[in-house]
Structure 1
Amino acid sequence: MGKRGKIYITLAILGILALVVFEMTKPKDINWFPSYATHHKIPFGSLVFTEQLQRISDSVIPIDRPPFEYLRKNNIKGTYLFFNNNVNFGKAELERLLKWTSEGNTLVVSSLTFEEKLLDTLNLAMESVNIFDNFENKFEVKLVNPVFETKKYKFDKASTLFHFNKIDSSKTRVIGVVDKIRKETDTIKNERVNIIKQTWGNGEIILNSFPQAYTNYFILNAPNQEYTAGLLSYLDISKPIYLDQHYKSGKKFYTSPMYLFLNNPNLKWAYYLVLIGVIFYIIFEGKRKQRAIPIVKPLNNQTVDFTRTIANMYYESSKHSEIAHHKIQHFLEYIRKQMYLDTSTVDANFLKNLAARSNNSIEDTEKLFGYIKRIQEQHTINNIQLERLNSLIENFKSHNQWKTKN
């Protein structure tokens, strides 16, 4: 590679590093996704509310399963709290929730709108708050209970809000109201009911069309936390509070293993640098073709075949004495290595130790070495004697339980 090519590569690497530094140091865009997830720190997550709820109640139980399934498998008492942009129960699920509420429990549902079946059951109707002359989307909410001194709380991140335009005043209690703000000096003039409470059997139902009251953005804008605290005052904290995590717009779990990499700036750019390195490798190294390496088969072990060939030559040439001599020497070497005995002196003590170590009887051991002695004393032997010697040696070795292959 020439000098000019190296300069181009250096400039490219410096440019990439500069881009990485710029991306890592620039401020992150605010995520305004209406998550309502209890673990999200984004403006419309509900981490702050969840932490505060756990501070005032020792029994906050997150439920990540559908309420129909959970109530069918568990006999629980207390408050079941739902909040999300939209909470839509199925027919069978709603019936089970209402039955559970009538047994002396509290059902709290906070959603922009509610399904028709629930509204019809409670004799309610809803419509949106008129947004004409409200171009900045500013709303004002308050709790009507005099205990809260009818303070007003502002919210400016909703395109519209909904209110109950029909209620059964004989059995419905108003908890909160909402209205638009045309100017900063305006106050609520036409109070529109957005939070109600009804008795249902032996229990209670609280419907709230302002779920943003549970979000991080609303609570962290003082003094809005007082409004959310006022809503919590309607809950019986002496009993368990079951916090729904099933009806949430935000993800409850990571669906991709790449989430951890792409959600963490350091890991994300480390991942990108690896990809960039791979691209550079492909560009500069991909053209280099390596010659195929031929497969070299290893040489076959011809030792056994060679030994057999030599042995056959000796046997066919009637050199039985030489074969017997090699056979005896090999056997003595076997005794030295396997039995750890000195074969220079073959006496009664040696035969006794050899018989004990080889798992043979003393008679068979004496018989073998007596035959070996006769073979060594003869100048010539025939093939029958050679075969007899081989048979005695192999039979002797077969009794050795610690033998290894030779």
Structure 2
Amino acid sequence: MKSRLIIGGAILIVVTFLFLILNKLLNSEKKFDKSFTVSRYSYKPYDCKFFFDELKRNAGEGFKENNISFELTQLGEGNTTNTSYIIVSPKFYPTSFAINHLKAFASKGNNVFICAFSLTAELIDSLYSSPQKNNLSVSFPPYLIESRWNVNWNGEDSTQTQYHLWGHKPITAVLDSIYLPGNDLITDIDTLITDNANKIQMLEIECGYGRIFLCNNPILVSNYFLLYQDNYTFFNKIADKINLAENNIIWDDYYRTVNSLDDNDSTGIGRSEVFRVIFQNPPLVWAFYTFMAGIALFLLIYYRRIQKPIPIYSTPKNNSEAYISVVSGLYWQQQNHKSIADKIIGQFFEYLTHNFHIHIKDFQESELEKISLKTGRSLESIREIFDEITLIKSQEEITKQSLMSLYQRINAFYQA
């Protein structure tokens, strides 16, 4: 008895746990997911799989990914041209060497597209002099303000294109372009995008023969933003700016991985323990579900072996025929011939559908010859049934003789 209580309690705990997991999964599908990973693998609203896929699909001269620090790629030392290096990351904290190589790479006639919530003062100092460089570091994930907001794309002809989003406006690093630095590489800085508070969201910086695009709001390249109403044209403007159709694209996946780690945890696990690691890795998630399901099945099967046998009950009888006889007798006593005829016609069409795949919509005068060939019945008998059904359907009440005539014709069809 004690062992049964223990096993029953264990089963209850496992079932409850599985129910909570299932409920969490169902709720996560229904609720708007506000989480950030800035991942190119995820369809979450604020990740960037759509942006990544469109870049890969439309890159005119090829597409590849980079998983090492930029200075190790030696792109800044070679003679590479017509190439765009794309960085989309929660934080962008490059080393001094990486910054120098990025600028050298852009100066040869390439594009560097940097999009991150948080930037370093060293990076900004290398591009322009900013009095607000102390406001560049933003915690991740950023604080979200629920509101409708918009951004303005400032065109070269002084026109503005406005893009709206009903969602969550993030707190981002503060960008400005007040003073140009005193070096030979940076020659001009333009404000490309501003928000509805007139705060800069993207800068276009001319660096030698190329350009550096600096954006502080990865939501602008997120799945939700680009797929909201007509915001997909925002991607077209970015594609034109980096000359996507004639450029080779290099997608950076190094800085997103490195900068997404917690500051005090080199493993990337952070304060969350085992479950966070499990639920961030799909293979571990399914392994965990399989393990829990295995335990549940083991307990259920074992419990079934030790419980008393279930008594055998007699098989319920099929009373359908008796029921039909009672109902038909009721109709007959009430002299409701039209209702009985409708039942016979409905059964006839069900017979045609099941045995000959002839549907009620196909039972038309123009199709009678085809129906005759398909069923193997004479055209005359098919036409008689058709005329009989058409006549009965056109009347609100019918006589006993009409009902008997219909029954005999359809029964003859069955017997043929």
TM-score, normalised relative to structure 2 = 0.53
How far off is 1:95 after superposition? 0.8
* Contact 2:15–2:296 (Cα < 8 Å) also in 1: no
Residue matched to 1:41: 43
Structure 1 position 20 matched with structure 2 position 31: no
Once the two structures are superposed, the pairs formed by residues 3-402 of structure 1 within 5 Å of their partners are 6=4, 9=7, 13=11, 16-17=14-15, 20-21=18-19, 23-24=21-22, 27-29=26-28, 32-58=34-60, 59-71=62-74, 75=78, 76-77=80-81, 78-125=83-130, 126=132, 136=146, 138-145=148-155, 150-154=161-165, 156-168=167-179, 171-180=188-197, 191-237=198-244, 238-249=246-257, 259-264=281-286, 267-275=287-295
Distance (whole Å) between structure 2 residues aligned to residue 18 and residue 116 of structure 1: 50
- How many residues were matched structurally? 266
* Contact 2:113–2:213 (Cα < 8 Å) also in 1: yes
Q: Which amino acid aligns with 1:49?
A: F
Instruction: Give deviations 1:318-354, integer Å, cap 9, x for gaps.
Output: xxxxxxxxxxxxxxxxxxxxxxxxxxxxxxxxxxxxx
Q: Which amino acid aligns with 2:256?
A: K
Distance (whole Å) between structure 2 residues aligned to residue 69 and residue 202 of structure 1: 22
* Contact 2:7–2:299 (Cα < 8 Å) also in 1: no
Q: Which amino acid aligns with 1:241?
A: I
How far off is 1:164 after superposition? 2.8
Distance (whole Å) between structure 2 residues aligned to residue 48 and residue 211 of structure 1: 13
How far off is 1:121 after superposition? 2.7
Residue matched to 1:286: none
Q: Which amino acid aligns with 1:123?
A: Y
How far off is 1:36 after superposition? 1.4
Instruction: Give deviations 1:124-169, integer Å, cap 9, x for gaps.
Output: 424769xxxx964553212011697522323632342344334348
**Structure 1 unaligned runs (5+)?**
181-190, 284-406
TM-score, normalised relative to structure 1 = 0.55
Change over 3 Å in CA distance of 1:104–1:93 after alignment to 2: same
Residue matched to 1:401: none
Change over 3 Å in CA distance of 1:73–1:282 after alignment to 2: farther
Change over 3 Å in CA distance of 1:165–1:259 after alignment to 2: closer
How far off is 1:204 after superposition? 1.4
Q: Which amino acid aligns with 2:65?
A: P
The alignment partner of 2:224 has SS state of helix
Change over 3 Å in CA distance of 1:44–1:176 after alignment to 2: same
* Contact 1:49–1:216 (Cα < 8 Å) also in 2: yes
How far off is 1:173 after superposition? 2.0
Change over 3 Å in CA distance of 1:22–1:85 after alignment to 2: closer
The alignment partner of 1:34 has SS state of coil
After superposition, the CA RMSD in angstroms is 4.1
Distance (whole Å) between structure 1 residues aligned to residue 121 and residue 16 of structure 2: 56
Q: Which amino acid aligns with 1:178?
A: D
* Contact 2:64–2:250 (Cα < 8 Å) also in 1: yes
Change over 3 Å in CA distance of 1:32–1:248 after alignment to 2: farther
**Structure 2 unaligned runs (5+)?**
137-143, 181-186, 262-267, 269-275, 304-416
Instruction: Give deviations 1:154-188, integer Å, cap 9, x for gaps.
Output: 363234234433434882222111134xxxxxxxx
